[in-house]
A and B are shown apart, each in its own frame.
Chain A
Amino acid sequence: MILKGKVWKFGNNIDTDAIIPARYLTTSDPAELAKHVMEDADAEFPSKVSKGDMIIAESNFGCGSSREHAPIALKAAGIQGVVANSFARIFYRNCFNIGLPIFESEEAVKGIQEGDNIEVDADSGVIKNLTKDEEYTAKPIPPFMQELIAAGGLIEWTKKRLG
């Protein structure tokens, strides 16, 4: 799978309250959540983001609450994938479970600026910076996670097991 898109850049410890504030959690409708995505980190973000964009963040992206509304809101807002130095663990598993591709790569985070166009090969973990003509690599995705992705997320994987 190849993901290609324009980059929005964020810093350290972007928590799930910033990704989708609790005041909007009286619904789990993806389209409603998308209207407020990243609002407390950047109030303009919901109006700036377009389908196919990617997020680059520093360390511990998605820390805090376990709310799956966070990756759901990102996905519904059209974010194709997230590259960060590291992810908080519940956010990390939520992304694999619901099928939002995420990658860990310190060199990519260092090299990529906001507005750059990048191309990520989800299978090989190679990240190309098309704007700067640079190439970085992401940590390999563990085999079990690959299995989850191949199945189409945890629910499809569970279905197969039950079936």
Chain B
Amino acid sequence: MILSVFALLKALIHLTNSDYLLYISFKSFLKNLYYFEQFLGGIVNITEKILAAHVGRDEVSAGELINAKVDVILANDITAPIAITEFRKTGAKNVCDKDKIALIPDHFAPQKDIQAAEQCKMLREFSKEHDLSLYFEVGKMGVEHALLPEQGIVLPGDLVIGADSHTCTYGALGAFSTGVGSTDVASAMATGECWFKVPEAMKFVYHGKLNKWVSGKDLILHTIGDIGVDGALYRSMEFEGEAINAMSMSGRMTMCNMAIEAGGKNGIMVPDSTTVEYVKGRAKRDYKLYTTDSDSSYVDVREYDVSKIMPTVSCPHLPSNTKVAADLSNITIDQVVVGSCTNGRIEDMREAAEVIKGKKVNSNVRLIVIPATQEIFLQAMKEGLAEIFVNAGAVFSTPTCGPCLGGHMGILAKGERAIATTNRNFVGRMGHPESEVYLSNPAVAAASAIMGRIATPEEVQ
């Protein structure tokens, strides 16, 4: 009872915080309330707890601007060059911590042209100059958001920033992680800190059991279709429920990866035994499991019955433009891409291989399969998945972001259409401004490669 009264008062704080002038006039009232709440042990969600721990406090509240310590700082071959140039301008002689800065050439790497090679060289030289332990050369690198969790570099309870919008992926581990700009990374490399506005939180609850061929990708596409590309703008997206509890880390990462596609600041899930099992053997340092208090208040709570969610596809040119895959069978395609930080993990390779095994890629289609890391590449070889893809007539590529951002390794010509397991389908994302991208899970992408049009896995079985 007392707790729910406080949840109400807390909601009041959130309301008043949103208006700065009101905030001033209520300041002393809020301050007293804050101490009172602290005395009782406030009601806090997981995002607020992690942020508070990184400013050395018990609590922070939504709307507040804080300067927090970061555990991992990430940049890639597109964003690191600006970060390095800006870092030099701060006048700092040394980086804050040589073991906290991960520089990963993955977007235009292996270096696609001379300019890309120059950018990658900047990362290599800066890493040498500052003796960075988390630089990943071609041959060791993978798509950053698949690589960092796989290598145990990002861990539960961490605060992670990356000059890449899909840095929100690591929320699946119970970390606060968010995309920032290159200048933020430059400043953090110098100080070990970054500024944040504590986000308001939205909760998404997924009840029930997933249908066959429905995965984390379909849940997140469905959710973005529901709330829109700015439905969670500036907010934290907390995912929970029976379907999440039953989901592998791979599916969870796919979901948190796309929080940014709804405008979210971070996606996050409370860690459980699946998380701990995943981290075991990977973590090279201590980590901390945070939870959400049961009476935490949210600006919005959405509930879904996942048994009603079918394989889902985002149509051009927004991730929120979702339709059921089965309703798109008239859409012919020229290219299929299975890979990226969203769906390039071993589970995704297995899912696509299961559908394609023993079949041939349609003669009108190019199928490009890109495992996200070297470890996944090797595992796919060991399990015979690479052979399944190559026998079917697909390209099986070394890890890279490649076509996901229209970089290299599969660019679309004018008027061409692709279905991809990636996360964005904006105008020109995979090539010519007049090409089109549809987004789906790996099983739908594989089925479409066989049929030469958007298809469901059932159709090819």
A89 touches B265 (CB 8 A): yes
The smallest beta-carbon distance between B383 and chain A, in angstroms, is 32
Chain B residues, CB < 8 A from A59: 230
A22 touches B406 (CB 8 A): yes
The smallest beta-carbon distance between B364 and chain A, in angstroms, is 25
B428 touches A21 (CB 8 A): yes
Within 8 A of B (CB), among A20-67: 21-23, 25-28, 39-41, 43, 59-60, 63-67
B187 touches A155 (CB 8 A): yes
- Name B234's contact: one of A40, A89, A159 (CB within 8 Å): A89
Judged by a CB distance under 8 angstroms, whether A93 is at the interface is yes
Chain A residues, CB < 8 A from B86: 155
- The verdict on A154 contacting B230 (CB below 8 Å), with A63-B263, A161-B191 known, is no
Q: Residue of B at shortest CB range from A25?
A: B78
Number of interface residues of A (CB under 8 A): 46
Interface string of A112-149 (1 = CB under 8 A from B): 00000000000000000000000000001011100000
Judged by a CB distance under 8 angstroms, whether B91 is at the interface is yes
B108 touches A140 (CB 8 A): no
- Name B164's contact: one of A66, A69, A72, A93 (CB within 8 Å): A66
Q: Residue of A at shortest CB range from B428?
A: A40
Chain A residues, CB < 8 A from B275: none
- A37 CA / B89 CA spacing, docked (Å): 26
- Name B116's contact: one of A26, A68, A93 (CB within 8 Å): A26
Chain B residues, CB < 8 A from A28: 81-82, 85, 119
B165 touches A90 (CB 8 A): yes
- The verdict on A97 contacting B181 (CB below 8 Å), with A18-B428, A162-B92 known, is yes
Interface string of A58-102 (1 = CB under 8 A from B): 011001111111001000000000000010111001100110000
B184 touches A154 (CB 8 A): yes
Judged by a CB distance under 8 angstroms, whether A5 is at the interface is no
A153 touches B179 (CB 8 A): no
A88 touches B183 (CB 8 A): no
B405 touches A88 (CB 8 A): no
The smallest beta-carbon distance between A96 and chain B, in angstroms, is 9
- A59 CA / B82 CA spacing, docked (Å): 27
Chain B residues, CB < 8 A from A65: 164-165, 405, 424
B406 touches A23 (CB 8 A): yes
Interface string of B32-71 (1 = CB under 8 A from A): 0000000000000000000000000000000001000000
- A134 CA / B85 CA spacing, docked (Å): 43
Chain B residues, CB < 8 A from A93: 180-181, 184, 195
Chain B residues, CB < 8 A from A163: 91
- The verdict on A88 contacting B233 (CB below 8 Å), with A155-B187, A158-B191 known, is yes
- Name A88's contact: one of B263, B407, B427 (CB within 8 Å): B263
- A157 CA / B86 CA spacing, docked (Å): 12
- The verdict on A154 contacting B187 (CB below 8 Å), with A28-B81, A68-B181 known, is yes
Within 8 A of A (CB), among B381-412: 405-407
Judged by a CB distance under 8 angstroms, whether B373 is at the interface is no
- A143 CA / B164 CA spacing, docked (Å): 26
Judged by a CB distance under 8 angstroms, whether B229 is at the interface is yes
- A94 CA / B164 CA spacing, docked (Å): 12
- A158 CA / B187 CA spacing, docked (Å): 6
Most buried by B among A27, A43, A155, A159: A155
- The verdict on A17 contacting B427 (CB below 8 Å), with A26-B115, A28-B85, A93-B184 known, is yes
- Name A27's contact: one of B115, B164, B195, B318 (CB within 8 Å): B115
- A72 CA / B186 CA spacing, docked (Å): 15
- A151 CA / B347 CA spacing, docked (Å): 48
A66 touches B79 (CB 8 A): yes
The smallest beta-carbon distance between A43 and chain B, in angstroms, is 8
The smallest beta-carbon distance between A50 and chain B, in angstroms, is 23
A63 touches B229 (CB 8 A): yes
B184 touches A97 (CB 8 A): yes
Chain B residues, CB < 8 A from A23: 406-407, 428
- Name B179's contact: one of A69, A90, A140, A144 (CB within 8 Å): A90
- The verdict on A60 contacting B179 (CB below 8 Å), with A22-B406, A66-B79, A155-B90 known, is no
Chain A residues, CB < 8 A from B372: none
- A88 CA / B82 CA spacing, docked (Å): 20
The smallest beta-carbon distance between A16 and chain B, in angstroms, is 8
- A157 CA / B183 CA spacing, docked (Å): 11
Chain A residues, CB < 8 A from B405: 17, 22, 65
- The verdict on A64 contacting B165 (CB below 8 Å), with A13-B230, A161-B191 known, is yes
Chain A residues, CB < 8 A from B181: 66, 68, 90, 93-94, 97-98
Chain B residues, CB < 8 A from A162: 90-92, 190-191
Most buried by B among A27, A69, A90: A90
Most buried by B among A25, A66, A154: A66
- The verdict on A64 contacting B184 (CB below 8 Å), with A26-B119, A142-B65, A158-B190 known, is no
Interface string of B159-203 (1 = CB under 8 A from A): 000111101000000000001111110110011000101000000
Chain B residues, CB < 8 A from A40: 427-428, 433
* Additional A-B contacts beyond A22-B406, A143-B20 (11; CB < 8 A): A13-B230, A17-B405, A22-B107, A23-B406, A63-B230, A68-B181, A93-B180, A142-B20, A159-B90, A161-B191, A162-B92
- 8 example contacts (A-B, Cβ-Cβ < 8 A) are as follows A17-B405, A21-B433, A25-B107, A60-B233, A66-B167, A68-B79, A142-B197, A154-B184
